[in-house]
Amino acid sequence: MKTEILSQEKEIVEAKAQFTAEEIAKAIDETYKKISREANIKGFRKGKVPRRAIELYFPKETVLAETLEKIIPDAVDKMVEEFELKLIGEPELKPEKIEEGKGYEFTVKFEVTPDIELPDISEIEIEKPIYETTPEMVQARMDSIIDAYSELVPTYEERPLTKEDYASVKFDTIVCHEDGSEEKAEEGRKTEIFLGAPNSRPEVVDAIVGRKPGEKVSVELPLSGEDAKTDHALKSRHEIEILGIMKKKDDELTDEKVKEITGKRIGSIDEFRAEIEKHLKEAGEARSAEAMKDNALFALCDKIEVELPQKLVERQKAAMKKQQEERLKGDDKTSFDEYLEKNGMDREVYDTELDAAARNIVKQALVLEAVADENDIQCTPDDLSKEIASVARRIGVEEKKFQEYVYGDANRLYNIADKLRHRKTLDYLVSAMKVKESAPEKEEKAEEKEGE
């Protein structure tokens, strides 16, 4: 088979494959052999059916069509490999029928990723933010740990509750079904609720705030996800009795308290303080490393002009929108239009922002791919084994079982290898660029930066 590129315009490559008459005859013969091995023809064993007998049962057009179905994909795969094409979509071709005794040729159009001309990476300078660990930060972290382990005790106050309070409550849960029937799911359950917690249900908080111990409130909550599917349930009603106002007991930090908190792993306040300081410094270094990777990719993309394939942009937009809709559907059945209205955003603004975000993601992916290809950054089998073991430990799954799970599906294996190559490429960029340390950042500034 002979192949050649006929033309290339932006991301469209047109190529041609040519077969000699001898190659077509050999391909047709292979098809007859395949049919002989698979056909169940009376009087003949499989694999022993002569061509003359096959021709009696299978029309020649069928054999030629099956031959074409074999040689076309093989030829396309060879062209992709030979010309090192990175495809965006499925190849476009309209092959003609083949004929016995004649050569054959077909043309195919490939939509490929654009060529990216990389600048001299070693001349790019990036900032390495330094996150300083202060004594105040260490103390604040210690205080939060102590607070988490502090016991809740009653205050016996009779005042209205505020969002600064812990409420001790007892409640019954009633599930309401589509047919109007009700079923008690829980009865007399006691718990404590911090009314200022960001993850507290606002309906519950609003019902309790302003009420006094001894009062009762009723709260209805819509059901979503699996709860809603079960027995056609529509909502749950919670009959809540406020038992009292609680507060955290002020515990003095002692060596004994440290042993209690750490399961006797740490025996003194000084050791406790040193370990927290060590963890904060490690966290700051990790944040700094991640920030450098982001800075490196942003700096490189800023120096590259590339016309993005619209098909990739549209595909990314569709994936992002689908993820958003699925999150909304899983949370509280909020429709997409309701989400836009709730966030004060109209469809045009959303589409504009979505398009910009999708273009950034596509450009970054293409640039990283170009860097990886140019510098031959690959994932070795050893790299993959280590990554799979690391993921297994992180999610708490037995390594061998997780390895079987990953290697049992080509897409899973590809996704892990692709993410690993992505990380290795970012590491390469940071190592290849000039790095300038920025002024130390306090925790408050770092948090502000994350929120931007």
Single out the residue in 249, 268, 302 at which a domain terminates. Answer: 249
More confident residue, 452 or 342: 342
Determine, yes or no, domain membership for 64: yes
Note the Cα 271 to chain centre separation in Å. 39
233 falls in which pLDDT band (50, 70, 90)?
low
Length of the chain: 452
Determine, yes or no, domain membership for 142: no
Determine, yes or no, domain membership for 127: no
More confident residue, 333 or 294: 294
- On whether both 315 and 443 belong to a single domain, the answer is yes
| Residue 98 half-sphere exposure toward CB, CA atoms < 13 A | 30
- On whether both 336 and 224 belong to a single domain, the answer is no
- On whether both 408 and 310 belong to a single domain, the answer is yes
112 falls in which pLDDT band (50, 70, 90)?
very high
Q: Give the range of the structural domain holding residue 94, as residue numbers without chain letter.
A: 2-111
pTM, two decimal places: 0.73
- What is the spatial distance between Cα 414 and Cα 65, in angstroms, rounded to a whole number? 33
Mean pLDDT along residues 108-130: 94
DSSP 88: S
Number of domains in the chain: 3
- On whether both 432 and 315 belong to a single domain, the answer is yes
pLDDT reading at 442 higher than 60 = no
Supply the pLDDT for residue 331.
Answer: 59
- On whether both 180 and 74 belong to a single domain, the answer is no
- On whether both 244 and 291 belong to a single domain, the answer is no
Single out the residue in 111, 138, 162 at which a domain terminates. Answer: 111
Determine, yes or no, domain membership for 125: no
- On whether both 245 and 297 belong to a single domain, the answer is no
pLDDT reading at 451 higher than 70 = no
- On whether both 30 and 85 belong to a single domain, the answer is yes
Supply the pLDDT for residue 448.
Answer: 42
Determine, yes or no, domain membership for 79: yes
- On whether both 15 and 96 belong to a single domain, the answer is yes
Supply the pLDDT for residue 228.
Answer: 47
- On whether both 107 and 210 belong to a single domain, the answer is no
pLDDT reading at 242 higher than 70 = yes
pLDDT reading at 444 higher than 70 = no
- On whether both 46 and 175 belong to a single domain, the answer is no
Determine, yes or no, domain membership for 141: no
Single out the residue in 197, 226, 249 at which a domain terminates. Answer: 249
Q: What is the average pLDDT score of the chain?
A: 88
Contacts of 404 by beta carbon, 8 Å cutoff, 6+ apart: none
H or E element at residue 225: helix 225-229
Residue 158 sits in a domain whose CATH number is 3.10.50.30
Least confident interval from 50-64, 348-362, 377-391: 50-64
Supply the pLDDT for residue 274.
Answer: 96
More confident residue, 441 or 3: 3
Supply the pLDDT for residue 316.
Answer: 95
Mean pLDDT along residues 277-302: 95
Residue 106 sits in a domain whose CATH number is 3.30.70.1050
DSSP 133: -
Supply the pLDDT for residue 266.
Answer: 92
**What percent of the chain is predicted at pLDDT more than 90?**
65
Mean pLDDT along residues 18-25: 95
Contacts made by residues 419-427, CB under 8 angstroms, sequence distance 24+ = 420/379, 420/383, 420/384, 420/387, 421/372, 421/377, 421/378, 421/379, 422/368, 424/372, 424/377, 424/379, 424/383, 425/368, 425/371, 425/372, 425/375, 425/377, 426/293, 426/296, 426/297, 426/368, 427/293
pLDDT reading at 440 higher than 50 = yes
Determine, yes or no, domain membership for 276: no
Using one digit for the tens of pLDDT, what is the confidence trace for 406-438?
Answer: 999 999 999 999 999 999 999 999 999 999 988
Determine, yes or no, domain membership for 139: no
Least confident interval from 25-29, 147-151, 267-271, 303-307: 147-151
Residue 359 sits in a domain whose CATH number is 1.10.3120.10
* 3-state secondary structure (DSSP) of residue 211: coil
- On whether both 291 and 233 belong to a single domain, the answer is no
Q: What token pair was written down for 431?
A: 């190592």
